[in-house]
């Protein structure tokens, strides 16, 4: 039974039982405490928590998920994957335990010929929470399971909570027994791999508080509406139904595994370590494909960092299998073909997906080449110093800064007959993980709790009237101060205000929030920000400038008209620039992000190289031609399917409801899904002036523009500058570029002459400096401050010249200088001094310590520095005292 068929049977089963079939949400969640959709429940959290009224009483879905907390286990166990799919059925205050258990048992044990999954009841076990007598009795009654196959377990396995105050409840898990060949008898309580968990039924029935951990809390009462939240692992069902050993051998994953074996010349099943690598490749390629399909792009932070990490783990695993060249064009195409039946977007959007994937592979292969050079240097220095181990700090630097995997560092060190200080490396890694976890916990504490808005959202959605009016009359529904719901706020306080209707736009879709005021009887509020803390609710952060605002009072939301006008111009300009970019570069140059505020817009899009000046001019001209042509701007509300069938473009990672707002500028030329505010015709935009183009990551570019009056001011300022230059240089405007180029060339030539003169002047000081040498033990030592120098290289050159003049006897030279306002000390030693124990790197570190900075280098030449030039004499003195101690 194919994976897609299992999903289809699941959805058909629940649709026939009155469930609304909900499409999978994006892997990119809008939950601020999460980077990704890590579980099937994530899109339903607002409904399960009661923050948002559910749009249906019962639902079913197949949800895409990404989870990387167990990434090191991928490939080693039968069922750990970074990308997985959860089959779920949900009840929001509708049915409860009995029906949830009945539905699960019926679907699992109904024959395949009758639409079920065809499991033999004798192969199924269940667990319940130890105190949940009701669930145990229902399993006995409905499934006729004997008592020994209903096992009671503790909170750590059979109780669900988020680890925060709110809903919680016991759960019941269903396991498949793979048989005696896979382990010991005794059921899931043995925690043996023989028993595979396939379905978890969560009975969300209690409210908890005083939460000190995920399993330590107080139950304060029952929820007014009891919910059902279930999750069945699609990949786990698939590997059981397909008769294979693990999820990596199922039909959606195996093609990539087989290709990895073919490309490497390895045989799957012949070697355990190679098998693990092939399974990692199969899993990670699919995960990368699905993340790219949902708009995530490789980067060095956030979601992009996770994607980059799993893509680079893939490349590393191929390398460890003996394949050094590019493989993504083959591997990703195979994954695309395997996943396209379930997710057609991976084929429809292949041009964009492949562009990012292939560029990332090329980049990392270059990184590996560069890292290899750095590693070879570390190996050589370790050997030269007589060491046997590469330092953990060096290994961590390679890993953290250059992206060079520790596995390859270990492999290269072993080939060179060396080891790596793995304990030190692991300690640094652990410190980094600890910092990351602390940051994540802080983010979760700060952002995850939206329960304060629950009572306000239950009153209905906030009505936004700002598309057609700049003022709206309403009533104050709620006031929040310092995270607490209060009934009033007074002058001088900062508060959040909830009203029933508002004309003020809440930040979303790249458009920043409106400016404005809220006024009512006896009070006035300055609007500082407008946000949507939960779906359907608008909250205004305000400063109470006068009077006292209270719940129940009338409120008028008033938009700053001039600011809104400029914001509308900028947002509509963004749509024109997007269309112009696609006209110029092609359909693959799609939006990855934007920001619009009054008079300014920026637009991010996927593209692999910088735009030429000619291309920028062409994009700017196309956009301004659209302004000149006074194109009509129209908005229509329709179903998502209708909008996409008309060719409307959607932003990756953005969530859209069943109804969407489509914005046309000039008909289909610019047609996008957008909830922002816009001009009524393109001529209202005025002028679009592209002022910048830059890189914002691999295969990602950004253009920035000023719009309307701000664009005019910028052009007027440039005109004034040109006028000043033509007047000062007494030439026509069209000769300015050539004249400025001539002046710049003359300046560079003069700077070179000055640098050469300064270098000769420094070299002329070498004989006199050599004469100042004093005896320190067996060494002749020169220490001197040479004043201001153009660069550290100039000081280094002089130190080497002085060292040469001191002959073959042990000699040490330490010269200090002011380089750009910071102290620099260069230490140089000859071979005789090094034999006698004087190492330039050690002496430079001593100087750096005195200077309050850092330093080091080779044994023959090294450098130290710091922030304060006034302590330069102390740095030179530290060189002498360190040398004296080594000589005594």
The annotation places the binding site for Zn(2+) at 571, 575, 674, 678
Per the CB < 8 A criterion, the answer to whether 171 and 215 are in contact is no
Dist. CA 198–CA 177, nearest whole Å: 10
CB 138 within 8 A of CB 164: no
With tokens 């299998």, the residue in question is 321
For residue 221, the Cα-to-chain-centroid distance in whole angstroms is: 38
Tell me the pairing of strands 670-673 and 659-665.
Answer: antiparallel
Strands (E), 679-731: 688-695, 700-707
Residue 853: phi, psi to the nearest 5?
A: -135, -145
Measure the CA angle with vertex 112, ends 107 and 115; round to 5°: 60
Q: Is 195 helix (H, G, I), strand (E, B) or coil?
A: strand
Q: What angle, 0 to 180 degrees and rounded to 10, lies between the N-to-C axes of helices 406-415 and 350-384?
A: 40
Q: Are 372 and 398 in contact (CB under 8 A)?
A: no
Q: Which alpha helices (H) appear in 730-813, and where do they start and end?
A: 736-763, 766-770, 792-805
- Rounded to a whole number, what is the distance in angstroms from the first to the last CA of the chain? 81
Report the DSSP beta bridge partners of residue 600: 597, 706
Q: Which residues pair with 19 in a beta bridge?
A: none
Question: CB-based contacts of 866: which residues, under 8 Å, 6+ apart?
Answer: 822, 823, 848, 850, 851, 852, 853, 875
- Give CA 449 to chain center in angstroms: 21
Gap between the Cα atoms of 37 and 190, Å rounded: 30
Is 551:478 a contact under the CB 8 Å cutoff? Answer: yes
Per DSSP, helices labelled H in 249-349 are 254-264, 272-293, 302-320, 328-339, 345-348
Per-residue b/e over 253-270, b at no fewer than 16 CB within 10 Å? bbbbbebbbebbebebee
Tell me the torsion sign for CA atoms 276, 281, 287, 288.
positive
> CB within 8 A of 798, min separation 6: which ones?
762, 763, 765, 766, 769, 786, 815
Instruction: Report which of 607, 23, 26, 602 is spatially closest to residue 292, judged by C-alpha positions.
Output: 26
Q: Are 112 and 2 in contact (CB under 8 A)?
A: no
Q: Output 797-800 pairs: Cβ under 8 A, ≥24 positions apart.
A: 797/759, 797/762, 797/763, 798/762, 798/763, 798/765, 798/766, 798/769, 799/826, 799/827, 799/828, 799/861, 800/828, 800/861
Q: Do the strands 389-390 and 195-213 form a parallel or antiparallel pair, or are they unpaired?
A: unpaired
**Checking DSSP bridges between strand 861-865 and strand 150-153, what pairing results, if any?**
unpaired
Cα three-residue angle 647-653-656, rounded to 5 degrees: 60
Instruction: For residues 151 and 128, give the distance between their C-alpha atoms in angstroms, rounded to a whole number.
Output: 6
- Return the SS3 of 170: strand
Question: Which uninterrupted H or E stretch holds 595?
Answer: strand 591-597
Yes or no: say if 226 and 96 are a contact pair by the CB < 8 Å rule.
yes
Q: Is 448 helix (H, G, I), strand (E, B) or coil?
A: coil
Quick one: 813 exposed, middle or buried, by C-beta within 10 A (0-12, 13-18, 19+)?
Answer: buried
């Amino acid at each position: 039974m194919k994976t897609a068929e299992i999903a289809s049977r699941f959805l058909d089963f629940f649709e026939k039982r009155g469930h609304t079939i909900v499409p999978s949400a994006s892997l990119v969640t809008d939950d601020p405490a999460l980077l990704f959709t890590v579980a099937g429940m994530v899109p339903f959290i607002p409904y399960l928590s009661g923050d948002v009224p559910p749009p249906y009483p019962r639902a079913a879905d197949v949800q895409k998920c990404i989870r990387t907390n167990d990434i090191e286990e991928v490939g080693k166990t039968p069922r750990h994957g970074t990308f997985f799919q959860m089959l779920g059925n949900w009840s929001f205050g509708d049915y409860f335990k009995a029906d949830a258990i009945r539905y699960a048992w019926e679907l699992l044990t109904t024959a395949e010929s009758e639409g079920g999954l065809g499991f033999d009841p004798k192969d199924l076990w269940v667990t319940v929470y130890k105190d949940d007598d009701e669930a145990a009795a229902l399993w006995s009654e409905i499934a006729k399971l004997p008592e020994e196959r209903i096992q009671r377990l503790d909170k750590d396995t059979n109780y669900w909570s988020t680890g925060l105050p709110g809903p919680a409840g016991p759960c019941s898990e269903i396991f498949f027994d793979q048989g005696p060949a896979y382990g010991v008898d005794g059921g899931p309580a043995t925690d043996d791999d023989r028993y595979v968990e396939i379905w978890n039924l969560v009975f969300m029935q209690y409210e908890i508080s005083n939460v000190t951990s995920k399993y330590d809390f107080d139950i304060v009462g029952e929820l007014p509406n009891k919910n059902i939240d279930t999750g069945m692992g699609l990949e786990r069902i698939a590997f059981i139904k397909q008769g294979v050993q693990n999820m990596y051998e199922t039909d959606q994953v195996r093609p990539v595994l087989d290709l990895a074996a073919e490309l490497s010349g390895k045989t799957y099943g012949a070697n355990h370590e190679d098998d693990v690598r092939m399974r990692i490749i199969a899993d990670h390629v699919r995960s990368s494909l699905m993340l790219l399909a949902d708009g995530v792009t490789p980067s060095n932070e956030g979601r992009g960092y996770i994607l980059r990490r799993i893509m680079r783990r893939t490349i590393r695993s191929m390398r460890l299998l003996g394949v050094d060249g590019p493989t993504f064009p083959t591997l990703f195409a195979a994954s695309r073909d395997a996943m396209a039946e379930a997710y057609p977007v991976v084929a429809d959007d292949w041009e964009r997906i492949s562009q990012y994937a292939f560029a990332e592979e090329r980049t990392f292969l270059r990184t590996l080449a560069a890292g290899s050079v750095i590693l070879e240097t570390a190996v050589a220095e370790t050997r030269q110093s007589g060491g046997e181990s590469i330092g953990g700090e060096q290994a961590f630097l390679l890993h953290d800064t250059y992206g060079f995997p520790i596995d390859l560092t270990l492999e290269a060190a072993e080939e060179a007959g060396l080891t790596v200080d793995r304990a030190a490396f692991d300690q640094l890694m652990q410190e980094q993980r600890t910092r990351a976890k602390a940051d994540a916990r802080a983010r979760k504490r700060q952002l995850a709790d939206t329960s304060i808005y629950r009572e306000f959202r239950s009153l209905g959605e906030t009505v936004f009237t700002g598309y057609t009016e700049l003022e709206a009359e309403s009533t104050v529904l709620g006031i929040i101060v310092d995270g607490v719901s209060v009934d009033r706020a007074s002058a001088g306080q900062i508060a959040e205000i909830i009203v029933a209707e508002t004309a003020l736009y809440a930040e979303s879709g790249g458009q920043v929030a409106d400016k404005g005021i809220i006024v009512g009887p006896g009070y006035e509020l300055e609007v500082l920000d407008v946000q949507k803390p939960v779906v359907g609710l608008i909250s205004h952060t305000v400063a109470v400038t006068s009077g006292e605002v209270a719940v129940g009072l009338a409120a008028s939301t008033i938009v700053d008209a001039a600011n809104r006008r400029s914001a509308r111009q900028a947002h509509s300009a963004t749509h024109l620039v997007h269309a112009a970019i696609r006209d110029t570069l092609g359909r693959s140059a799609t939006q990855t992000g934007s920001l619009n505020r009054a008079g300014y817009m920026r637009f991010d899009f996927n593209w692999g190289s910088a735009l030429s000046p000619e291309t920028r001019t062409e994009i700017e001209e196309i956009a301004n031609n659209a302004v000149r042509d006074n194109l009509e701007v129209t908005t229509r509300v329709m179903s998502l399917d209708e909008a996409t069938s008309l060719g409307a473009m959607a932003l990756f990672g953005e969530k859209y409801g069943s109804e969407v707002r489509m914005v046309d500028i000039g008909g289909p030329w610019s047609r996008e899904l957008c909830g922002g505010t816009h001009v009524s015709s393109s001529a209202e935009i005025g002028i679009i002036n592209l002022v910048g183009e830059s890189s914002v990551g691999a295969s990602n570019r950004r253009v920035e523009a000023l719009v309307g009056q701000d664009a005019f001011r910028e052009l007027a300022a440039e005109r004034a500058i040109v006028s000043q230059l033509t007047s000062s240089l007494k030439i026509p405007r069209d000769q300015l570029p050539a004249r400025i180029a001539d002046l710049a060339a003359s300046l560079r030539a003069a700077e070179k002459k000055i640098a050469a003169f300064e270098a000769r002047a420094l070299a002329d000081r070498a004989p006199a400096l050599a004469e100042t040498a004093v005896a320190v033990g067996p060494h002749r030592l020169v220490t001197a401050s040479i004043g201001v120098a153009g660069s550290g290289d100039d000081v280094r050159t002089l130190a080497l010249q002085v060292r040469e003049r001191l002959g073959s006897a042990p000699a040490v030279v330490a010269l200090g200088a002011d380089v750009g306002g910071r102290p620099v000390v260069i230490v140089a030693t000859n071979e005789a001094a090094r034999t006698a124990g004087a190492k330039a790197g050690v002496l430079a570190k001593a100087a750096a310590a005195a200077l309050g900075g850092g330093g080091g280098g080779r044994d023959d030449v090294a450098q130290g520095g710091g922030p304060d030039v006034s302590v330069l004499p102390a740095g030179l003195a530290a060189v002498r005292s360190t040398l004296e101690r080594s000589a005594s």
